Structure 1
Amino acid sequence: MDWTGMFFQGWQGIVRTLVVGALAYITLVLFLRFSGKRTLAKLNAFDLVVTIALGSTLSAILLQESIALAEGAVALGLLILLQLLVAWLSVRSRPFARLVRSEPTMLARSGAWCEEAMHRERITREEAISAIRQSGGSDVADAEFLILESDGSISVGLRHQVSR
């Protein structure tokens, strides 16, 4: 068994990775700059998928010699263009927005749990109470509302200022 090929296959691959990697990175930064802040916003699961796809595509461009820089740049551009199209359609069509984006969900109201919503969203009481503690409360009784936002974060509105 030849162990050397596992650790070093030649300078050509390393030089290709350096050159194509730098150019692909610059291309991605320029595309993201052109497309605006919304492309990498932490807003919902769809945005997360696009962000992961961009990273995966960049990785493929870097490591797979069968993918030329031009092909990779087109793939990155396509993902960003599709993200912009989805954002554009979401702003103009409420039904389309509901299709690709989840709505916020009330988890607790006026100090009481919304059990069905918590079960449907797979949020445990421990996770919810952790969010309440991070906001300065200690228990659900301290919360006027608890909302699971579209990006997966939990917003907390305390009933009154809790003193420590």
Structure 2
Amino acid sequence: MDMSYFWTGWSPIWHTLLVGTVGYLTLVILLRGTGPRTMAKMTPLDFIIAVTLGSAFGRVVTASDVGLAQAVVALVLLVGVQWALASIRAKWPAMRRVLDTPPVLLYYDGDFQSKALHKHRLTEADVHSAVRQSGHGSLDSVQVVILHQDGSLGVIAEGSMGDGSSLLPYVERHQGDSGNAA
């Protein structure tokens, strides 16, 4: 049996310790510096960055052929791309439409939105579960259930809609799609 399966010398150990420590500290500093948005509930864009960062960090820590400078540059690049895309998204509505998935109306005013449920691979049971988790015993006390950008389901109780301004664009889009009038 080849002993290199168990031991290849001190060099890879020192590399892992150095790159792991510096890489970890670099990530902490970068993520603290970019603000809470980087680590907020994840949109698909955030998820891609998080997975890519984890993959890159795991690779640079264990690969002895990756130097410390290259490891730090890779981490800075990935966090920089995430920060740049978040900035672009915040400044230009057109990019927001490209980068974000809009919220989706799943239940409105007593009606399940079957097309939306089917399209997003959800069931009426998923809506009922979200209603229960929000502290409601039935749909009678709920006016809206919406699928948020991060994949969570939001429940708005009857009488809590106010003027509906944060929901109105999705209700209007739903009415346009289904031909219903409120």
Partner of 1:44: 43
| DSSP-derived class of the 1:151 partner | coil
Question: Within the alignment, does 1:83 sit opposite 2:85 as a pair?
Answer: no
Partner of 2:62: 63
| DSSP-derived class of the 1:146 partner | strand
CA offset at residue 122 of structure 1? 1.4
CA offset at residue 53 of structure 1? 0.9
Q: 1:88 to 1:160 in 2, by over 3 A?
A: closer
User: TM-score if structure 2 supplies the norm length?
Assistant: 0.80
CA offset at residue 149 of structure 1? 0.2
In structure 2, the gaps of 5 or more residues are 161-182
Deviations 1:48-97 (A, max 9, x none): 11111111111111011111111111111111111111111111111111
Q: How many residues align?
A: 160
What residue identity is the alignment partner of 1:60?
A: R
| DSSP-derived class of the 2:41 partner | coil
| DSSP-derived class of the 2:4 partner | helix
Partner of 2:133: 134
CA offset at residue 160 of structure 1? 6.8
What residue identity is the alignment partner of 2:91?
A: R
Cα distance between partner residues in 1 of 2:74 and 2:86: 18
% identical equivalent positions: 34
User: TM-score if structure 1 supplies the norm length?
Assistant: 0.88
Indicate if the aligned counterparts of 1:112 and 1:141 stay in contact, CA closer than 8 A.
no
Partner of 2:106: 107
Partner of 1:155: 154
Cα distance between partner residues in 1 of 2:89 and 2:102: 13
Question: Within the alignment, does 1:22 sit opposite 2:21 as a pair?
Answer: yes
Indicate if the aligned counterparts of 1:105 and 1:147 stay in contact, CA closer than 8 A.
yes
Partner of 2:92: 93
Cα distance between partner residues in 2 of 1:62 and 1:28: 13
In structure 1, the gaps of 5 or more residues are none
CA offset at residue 40 of structure 1? 2.1
What residue identity is the alignment partner of 2:62?
A: L
Cα distance between partner residues in 2 of 1:139 and 1:87: 38
| DSSP-derived class of the 1:103 partner | coil
Partner of 2:30: 31
Deviations 1:93-124 (A, max 9, x none): 11111101100001001122011111111112
What residue identity is the alignment partner of 2:38?
A: T
Cα distance between partner residues in 2 of 1:72 and 1:17: 11
